[in-house]
Structure 1
Amino acid sequence: MKISVETTVAAPIEQVWRAYTTPEHIKQWNTASEDWHTTAASVDLRVGGAFCSRMEAKDGSMGFDFAGTYTRIVEHELIEYSFGDRTAQVEFADSPEGVRVRVTFDSETTFSTEQQQQGWQAILNNFARYVEAMR
């Protein structure tokens, strides 16, 4: 099953794209809640290139790597990637209000659809707040 989340970022596409694809920026916004953070990120932004974000609870109780491989990239428009046996697509589209960012991903079985949607939406909301504060 596919799940989609989206937001609109009031910033130029170049700034939105750079914040989404640069490790130093990713470490600043890539979290679903205040008690987690991204301690490391790597990006090889090309088809066949790998990415990895190390996400950890701030209290040190747990952590995991969110990692995968880029399968399609259209600069300022689209990023597709696989992670494990799942895939995701990130679309970037200019609108009068800014850049609409939509993430569509394959669901998994550990967490409910609602929990997955809420978590990915929270991360995307943090992304929008971070980019808009950069201006």
Structure 2
Amino acid sequence: MEISIASEINAPLAAVWQAWVTPEEIVNWNFALAEWCCPRAEIDLQVGGKFIYRMEAKDGSMGFDFEGTFTHITPNQCLRFELADNRVVTVAFTATANGVRVVETFDAEDENSAQQQKQGWQNILNNFKQHVDSKNS
């Protein structure tokens, strides 16, 4: 099953793209809950390149690496990657009259409900929007 989430970012396309693919930016927004953080992000932005984002509870009680390999990159338009568990994710960036519409589509996993997955990924995308909007307001 595929799940899609979306958000409209009030910033220029180039700024949205850079915030999505730059490690120094990713660590500021890539977590689903306020009690979590992303202390490290590594990204090799090329087809066949890998990324690893460290996700951790701020209290140090748990954490995991979110990682995958890029399978398609069209700068300022689209990223596609395969996660370590073979699920596929597509992120589309579309310029709009007010900024950029970001749509993420991902294969669901079997461990959590579709609603939990959708909410978690949407929370991260909402953090992204807040981070980029605040830098470009």
* TM > 0.5 fold call: yes
1:32 is aligned to 32
TM-score, normalised by the number of residues in structure 1? 0.99
CA–CA distance in structure 1, aligned partners of residues 77 and 70 of structure 2: 14
2:66 is aligned to 66
Structure 2 unaligned regions, length at least 5: none
Query: What is the correspondence of 1:43-62 to structure 2 with a 5 Å cutoff?
Result: 43-62=43-62
CA–CA distance in structure 2, aligned partners of residues 18 and 85 of structure 1: 26
One-letter amino acid of the counterpart of residue 67, structure 1: E
- Deviation at 1:38? 0.2
1:16 is aligned to 16
- Deviation at 1:97? 1.7
- Deviation at 1:18? 0.2
- Deviation at 1:85? 1.4
1:106 is aligned to 107
2:78 is aligned to 78
User: What SS class does the counterpart of residue 27 from structure 2 fall into?
Assistant: helix
Question: What's the % identity of the aligned pairs?
Answer: 47
> Are positions 1:91 and 2:92 aligned together?
yes
- Deviation at 1:25? 0.2
Deviating beyond 2 angstroms after TM superposition, the runs of 4 or more aligned structure 1 residues are none
Give per-residue Cα distances to partners, 1:21-49, cap 9 Å, x unaligned.
00010000001110000010001000000
> Are positions 1:130 and 2:93 aligned together?
no
CA–CA distance in structure 2, aligned partners of residues 102 and 42 of structure 1: 22
CA–CA distance in structure 1, aligned partners of residues 126 and 97 of structure 2: 19
TM-score, normalised by the number of residues in structure 2? 0.97
For the aligned residue pairs, the C-alpha RMSD in angstroms reads 0.5
